[in-house]
């Protein structure tokens, strides 16, 4: 999963562990809560379309929340070439 590379690219080098922990926690919560929400949506609507729509919405919101972080990271640290220098 490419999302785990964000924990090394976005936070400062001394907070990479915390970034990885946050990503892992969110992933675990999604694995635990996601199927329950899809099941509830299926029971309410009668099909899986609402569940897929919910998953698409969460994927969009995840991407939308990462874009500003990445843009801020590029503005404060320069381009990706700067990532090699900080390691």
* Residue 71: per-residue pLDDT: 74
Q: pLDDT tens digits for the chain (87 residues)?
A: 666 776 677 777 888 888 888 888 888 998 999 999 999 999 999 999 999 999 999 889 888 877 777 777 666 665 555 555 555
The C-alpha atoms of residue 37 and residue 32 are separated, in whole angstroms, by 10
CA 18 to each of CA 9, 24, 35, 52, 79: distance values in angstroms, whole numbers, following the listed order: 12, 10, 27, 31, 23
Cα–Cα distance between 25 and 14 in angstroms, integer? 19
């Amino acid at each position: 999963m490419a999302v785990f590379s964000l924990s090394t690219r976005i936070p400062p080098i001394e907070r990479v562990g915390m970034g990885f922990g946050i990503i892992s926690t969110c992933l675990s919560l999604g694995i635990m809560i996601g199927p329950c929400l899809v099941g509830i949506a299926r029971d309410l609507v009668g099909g899986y379309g609402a569940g897929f729509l919910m998953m698409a919405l969460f994927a969009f919101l995840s991407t939308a929340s990462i874009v500003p972080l990445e843009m801020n990271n590029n503005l404060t640290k320069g381009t990706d070439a700067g990532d090699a220098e900080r390691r």
